[in-house]
Amino acid sequence: MQAPSIGTPALGRTARWPTLAALGAALWLALALNPTAAEAGSGLYLQLGLGYGSFSGTELVTQEVPGGKDGIGDYPDTDSATCCPGPGLATQFRLGWSLFGFGGPEFGLVANGWDLGNSAGGAGFIGGGIRLFPIKFLGLLGLDDKDFPLDAGIGVMFGYSLVGKDFAYTGTFWDVDLHVEYKLTSFLSAGVKFDAIFPKYGDFALTSYKNNRGRCLDSGANQDLVNQAVPIDRDAADCAGRGPETTYITPQIVFTFHFDPFDS
């Protein structure tokens, strides 16, 4: 059975497209809209990020034992040194609207890749949320926020996540982030950002993402190799375990374009 390796059609194109599509779409949009001299943190904003990302723990098993084990194919690698996603490249794309400069709704995408190459693994987080700009609130206390050289934001996002290499998992997530930027121009700022993402993956490990087949996980988030040595259809699964517990951390360098498309 074909495992959902990043290097195979099963999950490869799915895991790679967020990074390329997000960067390409973001750059095109930034140029096409011709940002005007809007105050940083107000109006429409577009943010691009690039950095490092890493999952915690040893429950998110994405690596299989080559050739299988004990006569079982798609056998999970339980070695803590090789079982799980390693650190790798991370990118993100954010597009939102700030109401009067204080905050507003936001769409976001965070993508991660590790072991980059023919057998790479990948993860994606896509969703929506809200962002607040605390320096604008300080303006209510007398701070001259318009000429203040720094911009900052606190965001919360909820959405859908997919992660995988030889084994894949799907679920939901919460993302909490903080960024601080320096205003380079009236429409561009640059700085650093830190995201802490808390996924909640389901209790089913996909051995073939393309064919929607895999195994249930038990109460310890381990694959049921006794009753499901041969992977089953996900639609027929009656799982009663729990998904793997992990946290995803990513510090990134970010660039934010600020503009008002309705400004004449």
Q: Note the pLDDT tens digit of each residue in 196-245.
A: 999 999 999 999 988 999 999 999 999 999 999 999 999 999 999 999 99
Q: pLDDT tens across 114-170, in order?
A: 998 778 999 999 999 999 999 888 888 877 777 788 989 999 999 999 999 999 999
Q: Which helix (H) or strand (E) holds 21?
A: helix 12-32
Residue ranges of domains in the chain, CATH in brackets: 12-32+41-259 (2.40.160.20)
Output the pLDDT for position 258. Answer: 87
Residue of higher predicted confidence among 102 and 175: 175
Q: Give the C-alpha separation, 51 to 91, whole Å.
A: 6
Task: Give 264's pLDDT tier (boundaries 50, 70, 90).
Answer: low
Q: Give the C-alpha separation, 83 to 193, whole Å.
A: 28
pTM, 2 dp: 0.82
Output the pLDDT for position 15. Answer: 42
Q: pLDDT tens across 13-45, in order?
A: 334 444 444 444 444 444 444 443 344 445 899
Output the pLDDT for position 234. Answer: 93
Output the pLDDT for position 117. Answer: 79
Q: Are strands 150-164 and 168-183 parallel, antiparallel or unpaired?
A: antiparallel
Output the pLDDT for position 49. Answer: 98
Kindly state the percentage of the chain with pLDDT values over 90: 64
Minimal CA–CA distance to 20: which of 54, 50, 44?
A: 50
Output the pLDDT for position 263. Answer: 66
Output the pLDDT for position 42. Answer: 59
Q: Measured between alpha carbons, how far apart are the two ends of the chain, in Å?
A: 59
Q: Give the C-alpha separation, 244 to 223, whole Å.
A: 10
Residue with tokens 């991660």: 112
Minimal CA–CA distance to 168: which of 125, 200, 127, 201?
A: 201
Residue of higher predicted confidence among 206 and 2: 206
Output the pLDDT for position 2. Answer: 41
Q: Give the C-alpha separation, 47 to 94, whole Å.
A: 5
Residue of higher predicted confidence among 12 and 93: 93
**What does R_g of the chain's alpha carbons equal in angstroms?**
21
Residue 60 scores a pLDDT above 90: yes
